Each structure stands twice: as C-alpha cells, then as structure tokens.
C-alpha cells in the first residue's frame, strides 16, 4: 500500500475518495470527518500503515461496528488504486463477498451489494451485501391509511397505561419548593419589591417504551401489521427504543426516526437481517439484558411482539423474561394470534413466557376502540396477581 | 509561566500513560495524541469497567494539569452543568440596594460575574491555571438527549452564551474526554464533533500486564490464573453482566489481601462476588458452572 505524500494533490483526492467510499458503504463520515482525518494525518507518519489506519479509525468511525467495517473498507480501498472521479463504477465490483458480522449496511440504494426490487404486491425485497445474497424477504409493505390511523389511536390508548413517574425536571406550580429564579425575576418586574414567592414542582416523566420485535420467519405473515405498530410506538411515544430479533438482537430505532412511515418501511425491509435460521428468544433476551439492561427501570414498559415460537431453549426464555419482568414496570406481550377468541398459548415459548407477562394483547386490540376497555384488559391479563411491585396498571381509560 | 508539557507523538503518550500505570495500546495512544494535538473532544465508548474514565485521570496526570469532572445523570440541566445565578444573594442585594440604586443599575449589578455560580463546563472555560484543564464528561449516555443539545455549542466553539452577560470564550481550550457505556445511541451531531475511541475487553496478555502493574506483589503465574479465569467468565454467553478490568483488579487485590497465592475452588467461591455482580449469574455459577470454569484450561 502506498498512500502517497500528504501534500500531493492526488493524495488529497484519494482521501476524499476514501470518505466517499465509506459513505457508499453506509458510514456517516461527512465532510467534517474527512477534514478531521486530513488534519490528523498531518500529525502522524502516514508511511506506517497501522498508524495511518489508526488515525482513520479515530476520525472516521463513530461506533464499534464502524470500527470493524472501517478496517475492511480501508484494506479494500487503499490496496487498489481507484480513480476518485470514477469511484462508483469501480466500487461496484469491489463489494465485500460476505456480510459483516454486525449486520448493518448502508441505506443508500446505490450502494454496492444492494439489490432492491418491489414485487406486484408492493413487497420490498432487498438483497444485502452481495449480488448473490438471498432476499431478506421482510414484508413491511405499507398498510392502508385507515388501518394506520386506527393503530395510532390504539397506541395512544396504551400510552395512557404506560408507566410515568416524577422526574427531576420541574415546572411552575401553585405550591411546592420555592423557585428562586422565578421569584427574583418577578420581584425585579415589581421594581425590586419582593411581593410573592413563586413555586415549582417535579414534572411527570414521559412514558418510556422498549419494544422487542420478533422478525423471524414464523412472523412473516404478520410483519406488515406489526411494523405499522412498531412505527406507531416510535412515533407517538417519544422515548422508545426498538430492537429486532430472530437469532440475534439488533437495535433498529435509528431506522424509524426522522422519516415517513412509507420510507421507514422501506428502510426496515432493507436493513433487517434475512429471515431463516429460526428464533432464539431466550438468548436474544439475555443479550438484551446484558447490553441494554440499564434501559429498564420502574418507569419502563416492555413490549414484546412475538408468536413465542422458539428453538427449544425455553428455560433461558423463562429465566430472562422473569428478570426483565422484575426490572421494568410492565411487560406487554403482543401475539399476532391472540386476536382469535379461541387462542390458547400452545407454543412452549408462550407457555414459559406467560407467567412473567402482565398483559397479553393481539395486534387487533390496537385497531379497535374497545381493545383497551377495562373489562377487555382484565380478560387479557394472564395473571391474577398484581403487577410488579403491586402496582395496579390497568387504569380506566378516560 | 511553566511550559506546557508537550506530547509529541503516540509513543510519548504511551510512555507517559505507562508512567501513570495505565497500560495503553496504540489505538488509545493515537486517539489521545490526536485529541490533544487537534484540540478536539475525545468520545470514549466501551463496556463498563474497561478504563474509560481512567483515561481522563491519566491524561490529567500526564499533562500535570487539573481535572474538572461532570458526572452525568438523568435530568441533568443547564443549572448543574453551565452556570447558575446565586439567587438568594441576588434577592438580598435587591432588598438592600433597592432604595439606593435605580432599577437598571441594580439589574446590571446582580447579573454580573460576582453573582454567578460556575458549574463544570464554565469552570473549564474560565480555568485560570497555567495549563488547559482536562474536562471529563462522564457517562453521557445517562443524561437526557436534551443535554447533548446543550453541549453542542460548547464542544464546537468552546464558548458559552449567558444571555445577561454575553458570550464567554475559553481562555485555553480544555482537553475534553467524554465517556459512554452505550446504553443508548448518542446523536450524530455530538459524534461529529468528537474523535472516537472504543475500548473493549482486554486480551489475556494485556490483562496480565495490567494486573502486574496495578497490583504490586502479584506473581506472574497467579496473575495468569486470575486473568485466565476472568477471560473464561467473560466468554460465557448467557451471563447478564460480564466482568470488566476494574472487577479483575478488585478481585486480585482482595485475593492478595487474603494472602492467597493460588486459585482453588473454595477461595474462588468465597470471593466470587468481586467478579460476578449479578444475582442470576451468581446462581448460575453456584449451580455447577464454577467447576466447569475452574476445570477449563
């Protein structure tokens, strides 16, 4: 590898080409990061490959996943000469042959290795990483407007039940601790005369949701409806984190933010891991506990969207869910088959999970106005004992 | 004025960190060196207990300067991070001076620096020492997303705007180290302003080296045994919490305090709480896993 002289204009062009190459591969390296990289390279000896790579990592990568992928991209780019002006053409043949371990890829549709097709039913099918990769097959095609409105109304109803607790932030109030800044400002408006005190008290915290979404093959027929539900959670409950799982757990919150439902559906279809390989709910919940356990506290509501089909490690599922139930305020399980009045928890996973679930719902409960009526909720509650820490979570819907 | 101790290369960083008993690899050395030379904040992410906060402490000692620490928590706001007006003092001054001064002059007086309570970010900007301080913003992922917005002006321009007084710029640009345990994703705007470093669990060899440096008197073979056991615990994929380097060091210190020179089942079981800090994991260990881990090569 010969990265060249730093003052050589062709080296600057190649460095800019490297930043563009990274963007094509899904990195968030903008112009600022490229400038940082150029500035960093002025401080070190770029003749040493490892030093050069380390400086690129520090300035261009922004997550551990990007660190791993940057090493691969670095080798790919700097081991061959690529004309900056013709980079896209050359990049198309230099796509990596296999998916990186983290599973994250570019949302850029022109990125090498991405093959996007929309079938007659509107299903978006995306081949990942390589032209030879199988289709992910995730059916996140948009639902009609009427159903979306109904689902959002249902999520608003659930939001009222989601836990809230007093926060650290304060708001003006008629009584409570004295608000000295407001009192001082008020007295200044009165010419310095201290006429009355102002008070403030803690504001209620917003509801916090953690959504664990099963995207394994057994959920294929329900994926479009559940994606609409996931998107509504993210859109209507400000503090929502969404994780997709099948055999591995990935956070997908970033796919849902700042874009419309239709665009989010398309992005999700492209980014979710390909189906197949079964479901490992227990190990995925353990992984969630280990990596994101701190998200759960007495104010968090955990929503699991799954049919409970598991590959047999149900003891691990039971143990992990018991732990989750203990940590958070409320565990809601949405089973796509629970809408059927004849539904019974037939799968082993579902039977193991139910003792640790506070509320079992079907997707249809979000679409009907009576889905959250107190008598329906009482009937949907698998346990007769109170919720965690004895809280009564089913409040009448006003 | 004393000379600012220069750091003129990655090797110099590694040397100085080694002098402070911090075993750093080249990626850490590179990140710290570029952060100091480029005057950019350094965002350090990684598993708990892997030495993120220690980087800031070590850098402080290596540069012979002062550490200003801001511990993040949920609900952290401008009053606790930037500045706060001394309201009781303002109210008293208003009461005392209201008859003697006109309201405009009084307002100017009570919104002067005398009535300002400086919090960590403002302290870092107005630091009077001979060298730029190190500002540690610890566990930023614990703070709200709104707090990240508050930091943006500070991190890009190293200035703070106080509406009543104007903009305060840094006398010397502080060395900023931000740590995160990755319990949530930080905003792109914040990441863009920072250099990035990820610290994972150390390799066995590095962990042995850290043990030898940080726990004086620990024999090489005993250090290898301890590091090997901790590495095997970390490799268990069903554990809720994996031990970091800090747990290894605490455990080794405890074993030294007990006068132990060799790992056996009894002593490991008695001191398991130093390594395994989750009730469920402890239960797993006590139900047969411990023997398997002790028996593994």
Residue A397 lies in a domain: no
Cβ-Cβ contacts under 8 Å, B237 against chain A: 283, 286
For residue A367, tell me if it sits in a domain. Answer: yes
Examine the domain organization and report whether A231 and A342 are in the same domain.
yes
| pLDDT tens digits, one per residue of B206-229 | 999 999 999 988 989 999 999 999
B234 and chain A in contact, CB less than 8 A: no
H/E stretch holding B56 reads: helix B52-63
Using 50, 70 and 90 to split pLDDT, how confident is the model at A82? very low
Query: Are B196 and A61 in contact (CB < 8 Å)?
Result: yes
- Integer angstrom CA distances of residue B11 from B8, B30, B34: 8, 9, 12
Question: Among candidates B297, B205, B218, which has minimal Cα distance to B262?
Answer: B218
**How distant is the alpha carbon of residue A41 from its chain centre?**
35
CB contact under 8 A, B87 and A181: yes
Domain end (from A91, A112, A133) = A91
Instruction: Tell if the CB–CB gap between B196 and A58 is shorter than 8 Å.
Output: yes
Do the chains contact at A63 and B198, CB–CB below 8 Å?
yes
* Interface size between A and B, measured as CB pairs under 8 A: 117
Contact B183 A43 (CB under 8 A): no
Contact criterion met (CB < 8 Å) for B77 and A188: no
* Predicted ipTM of the assembly: 0.83
Contacts for A9-12: CB closer than 8 Å, 24+ residues apart: A12/A38
Three-state DSSP class for residue A352? helix
Single residue among A204, A230, A250 that ends a domain in this structure: A204
Inter-chain CB proximity B240 and A251 less than 8 Å? no
Q: Best mutation site among B99, B103, B195, B239 for testing chain A: the one with the most A CBs within 10 Å?
A: B195
Residue in A with minimal Cα distance to B143: A168
Please indicate, yes or no, whether residues A17 and A46 belong to a single structural domain of this protein.
Answer: yes
The model carries a pTM of: 0.69
Nearest CA in chain A to B234: A290
Compute the distance between CA of residue A328 and CA of residue A210 in angstroms, rounded to an integer: 10
Tell me if chain A has a CB within 8 Å of the CB of B37: yes
Chain B partners within 8 Å of A356 (Cβ): none
- B6 interfaces chain A, CB cutoff of 8 Å: no
Query: Could you say which of B30, B45, B192 has the minimum Cβ distance to residue A64?
Result: B45
Does the structure show a pLDDT above 60 at A312? yes
All residues of chain B having their beta carbon less than 8 Å from the beta carbon of residue A43 are: 33-34, 37-38
User: Is A368 inside a domain boundary?
Assistant: yes
Residues A370 and A287 in one domain: yes
Residue A336, C-beta contacts closer than 8 angstroms, at least 6 positions apart: A219, A221, A222, A225, A226, A307, A362, A363
Whole-angstrom Cα distance, residue A276 to residue A278? 6
d(CA B142, CA B279): 23
Question: For chain A, where are the alpha helices, taking DSSP H only?
Answer: 9-24, 31-41, 49-60, 64-78, 87-91, 145-161, 180-189, 223-236, 253-256, 261-271, 281-292, 314-327, 348-353, 364-367, 374-380
Q: Establish how many alpha carbons lie within 13 A of residue A112's alpha carbon, considering only the half-sphere containing its beta carbon.
A: 20
- Same domain for A41 and A190? no
Backbone angles phi, psi at A240, to 5 degrees: -125, 130
Q: Are residues A249 and A213 in the same domain?
A: yes
Contact B238 A316 (CB under 8 A): yes
* Tens-digit pLDDT profile for residues B222-268: 999 999 999 999 988 778 788 999 999 999 999 999 999 888 889 99
| Residue B132: DSSP 8-state | P
**pLDDT digits over A197-211, tens only?**
899 888 777 788 999
Residue at A376 is within a domain: yes
Give the count of domains, chain A. Answer: 3
**A258 plus A341 within the same structural domain:** yes
Say whether both A263 and A193 belong to one domain: no
Alpha carbon of residue B25 to chain centroid: 18
- pLDDT surpassing 50 at residue A88: no
With CB atoms and an 8 Å threshold, state whether B181 touches A187.
no
Position A6 scores a pLDDT of 57
Domain match, A181 and A294 both? no
The predicted pLDDT at position A208 comes to 86
The verdict on A360 and A279 lying in the same domain is yes
Can you give the pLDDT at residue A378? 66
**β-strand partners of B199:** B46
- Residue A23 pLDDT greater than 70, yes or no: yes
Label residue A81 by pLDDT band (50, 70, 90): very low
Kindly list the residues from chain B whose CB atom is less than 8 angstroms away from the CB atom of residue A187.
Answer: 91, 94
Q: Identify from B39, B50, B75, B97 which residue to disrupt to test chain A contact, counting A C-beta atoms within 10 A and taking the largest count.
A: B75
Q: Does B261 touch chain A (CB under 8 A)?
A: no
Determine, for residues A183 and B280 on separate chains, whether the beta-carbon distance falls below 8 Å: no
Q: How far is B152 from chain A (nearest CA, A)?
A: 15
Predicted pLDDT of residue A5? 56
Q: Cβ contact (<8 Å) for B185 and A251?
A: yes
Mean pLDDT, residues A223-238 taken together: 89
Q: Is the pLDDT of residue A89 over 50?
A: no
> Does residue A145 form part of some domain?
no
- The arithmetic mean of pLDDT across residues A282-306, rounded, is 86
Please report, for the domain that includes residue A290, its CATH number.
3.40.50.410
Residue A192 within any structural domain of the chain? yes
How far, in Å, CA of A59 to CA of B86, rounded? 41
DSSP state of B114: G
Q: What is the pLDDT of residue A262?
A: 84
Which pair of tokens denotes residue A253?
């919150």
Per the CB < 8 Å rule, is B196 touching A62? yes
Q: Given this model, what pLDDT does residue B135 score?
A: 96
Same structural domain for residues A376 and A284?
Answer: yes
**A322 lies in a domain?**
yes
pLDDT in 10s for each residue of chain B, 297 residues = 444 456 888 999 999 999 999 999 999 999 999 999 999 999 999 988 899 999 999 999 999 999 999 999 888 888 889 999 998 898 888 888 877 777 778 888 888 888 999 999 999 999 988 999 999 999 998 888 788 888 988 898 899 988 888 888 888 899 999 999 887 778 888 999 999 999 999 999 999 999 999 998 898 999 999 999 999 999 887 787 889 999 999 999 999 999 998 888 899 999 999 999 988 888 888 888 888 888 755
Per-residue burial over A261-289, b if 16 or more Cβ lie within 10 Å, else e, is beebbbbbbbbbbbbeeebbbbbbbbbbb
User: Could you give the CA distance from residue B115 to residue A182 in angstroms, rounded to a whole number?
Assistant: 16
CA distances from B44 to A53, A70, A165 (A): 18, 17, 31
pLDDT band per the 50, 70, 90 thresholds, residue A380: low
Residues A236 and A376 in one domain: yes
| Domain end residue (candidates: A69, A91, A113) | A91
Task: Answer for the pair A224, A141: CB distance below 8 angstroms, yes or no.
Answer: yes
Residues A197 and A294 in one domain: no
Does A365 reside within a domain?
yes
* Host domain of residue A178: 170-204
Q: Among all chains, which residue has been given the structure tokens 């002098």?
A: B19
**Residue from A211, A226, A212, A218 nearest A309 by CA:** A218
Q: Is the Cα torsion angle B21, B24, B28, B33 positive or negative in sign? A: positive
Count of alpha carbons within 13 angstroms of residue A95, beta-carbon side: 25
**Joined tokens for residue A303:** 């929503």
Q: How far apart are CA A234 and CA A238, in angstroms?
A: 7
């Amino acid at each position: 590898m010969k990265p060249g002289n730093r003052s050589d204009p062709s080296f600057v062009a190649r460095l800019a080409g490297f930043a563009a190459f990274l963007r094509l591969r899904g990195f968030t390296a903008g112009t600022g990061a490229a400038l940082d990289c150029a500035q960093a390279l002025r401080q070190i000896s770029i003749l040493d490959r490892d030093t050069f790579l380390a400086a690129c990592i520090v300035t261009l990568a922004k997550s551990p996943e990007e660190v791993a992928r940057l090493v691969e991209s670095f080798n790919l780019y700097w081991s061959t000469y690529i004309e900056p002006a013709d980079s896209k053409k050359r990049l198309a043949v230099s796509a990596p042959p296999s998916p990186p371990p983290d599973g994250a890829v570019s949302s850029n549709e022109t990125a090498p290795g991405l093959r996007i097709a929309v079938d007659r039913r509107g299903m978006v099918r995306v081949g990942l990483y390589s032209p030879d990769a199988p289709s992910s097959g995730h059916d996140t095609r948009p639902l009609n407007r009427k159903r979306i409105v109904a689902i959002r109304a249902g999520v608003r109803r659930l939001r009222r039940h989601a836990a809230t607790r007093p926060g650290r932030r304060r708001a003006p109030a008629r009584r409570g601790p004295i608000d000295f800044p407001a009192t001082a400002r008020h007295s200044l408006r009165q010419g310095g005369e201290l006429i009355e005190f102002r008070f403030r008290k803690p504001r209620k915290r917003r509801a916090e949701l953690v959504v664990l979404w099963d995207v394994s093959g057994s959920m294929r027929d329900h994926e479009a409806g559940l994606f609409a539900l996931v998107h509504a959670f993210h859109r209507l409950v400000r503090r929502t984190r969404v994780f997709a799982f099948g055999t591995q757990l990935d956070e997908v919150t970033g796919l849902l933010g700042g874009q419309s439902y239709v665009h989010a559906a398309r992005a999700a279809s492209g980014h979710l891991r390909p189906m197949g390989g079964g479901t490992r709910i227990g190990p995925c919940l353990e992984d969630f506990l280990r990596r994101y356990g701190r998200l759960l506290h007495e104010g968090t509501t955990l929503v699991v969207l799954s049919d409970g089909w598991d590959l047999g490690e149900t003891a691990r599922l039971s143990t992990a869910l018991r732990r989750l139930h203990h940590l958070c305020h409320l565990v809601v399980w949405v089973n796509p088959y629970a809408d059927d009045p004849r539904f019974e928890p037939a799968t082993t996973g579902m039977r193991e999970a139910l003792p640790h679930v506070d509320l079992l719902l079907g997707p249809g409960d979000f679409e009907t106005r009576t889905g959250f009526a107190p008598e329906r909720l009482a009937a949907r509650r698998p346990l007769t004992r109170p919720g965690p820490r004895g809280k009564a979570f089913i409040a009448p819907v006003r | 004025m004393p000379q600012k101790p220069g750091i003129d290369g990655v090797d110099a960083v590694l040397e100085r960190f080694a002098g402070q008993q911090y075993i750093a690899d080249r990626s850490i050395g590179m990140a710290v060196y570029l952060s100091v030379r480029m005057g950019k904040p350094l965002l350090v992410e990684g598993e708990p207990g892997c030495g993120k906060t220690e980087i800031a402490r070590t850098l402080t000692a290596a540069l012979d300067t002062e550490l200003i620490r801001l511990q993040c928590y949920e609900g952290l706001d401008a009053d606790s991070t930037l500045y706060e007006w001394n309201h009781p003092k303002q109210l008293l001054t208003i009461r005392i001076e209201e008859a003697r001064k006109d309201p405009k002059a009084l307002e100017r007086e009570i919104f002067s620096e005398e009535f300002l309570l400086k919090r960590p970010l403002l302290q870092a900007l107005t630091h009077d020492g001979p060298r730029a301080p190190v500002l540690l913003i610890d566990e930023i992922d614990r703070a709200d997303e709104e707090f990240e917005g508050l930091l943006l002006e500070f991190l890009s321009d190293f200035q703070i705007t106080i509406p009543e007084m104007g903009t305060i710029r840094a006398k010397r640009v502080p060395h900023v180290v931000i740590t995160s345990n990755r319990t949530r994703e930080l905003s792109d705007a914040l990441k863009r302003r920072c250099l990035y470093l990820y610290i994972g669990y150390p390799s066995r060899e590095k962990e042995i080296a850290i043990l030898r440096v940080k726990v004086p008197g620990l024999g090489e073979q005993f250090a290898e045994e301890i590091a090997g056991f901790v590495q095997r615990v970390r490799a268990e994929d069903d554990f809720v919490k994996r031990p970091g380097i800090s747990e290894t060091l605490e455990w080794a210190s405890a074993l030294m305090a007990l006068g132990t020179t060799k790992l056996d089942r009894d002593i490991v079981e008695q001191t398991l709480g130093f390594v395994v800090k989750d009730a469920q994991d402890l239960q797993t260990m006590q139900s047969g896993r411990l023997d398997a881990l002790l028996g593994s090569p």
